[in-house]
Structure 1
């Protein structure tokens, strides 16, 4: 009966070659670009394999660094209250017109 060791030897050599090529390919496609990107201070996207530069929050908000955020919650509440008052007045006027029988003609 022929020995299976010769066939297994070739199988393991091929498997070792495939795994070695995959490790080198991963390093070339992801590892080296990631290290270069992070070394220059960027963020590496694994999905796109792109290097992105970080954006300072001051560029988005327009505030200087260290300046606190100015949030006026009362302003939003006042706007909502005024909107409810305007909508209520419009409904009252519409119901008053309907009750009196007057109709507005559109222009």
Structure 2
């Protein structure tokens, strides 16, 4: 029964698209929806990548803070993979 209703709906949709202009509008709408879906997926992926990068950076800063009393800024920066200026800023925050 349900499949019969779906077939009837499909036939009705095809009948409505007999007009060339309506068919073009329908195809454009479907393409626009597909493009929008692709943009959403792309944005979500970029958001995940950005979140991972921010998390990794936060972890590096946490490690650098733990090493401030043990090593100089240049060594910390080199070992952890951050800029010397970043480590110097952490040192200033800790002493301020």
**What TM-score comes out, normalization by structure 1 length?**
0.38
Which structure's CA Rg is the greater one? 1
If each structure's helix is expressed as a fraction of its own residues, which one has the higher value?
2
Which has more strand, going by share of residues? 1
Structure with more contact order per residue of length (Cα contacts < 8 Å, sep ≥ 6): 2
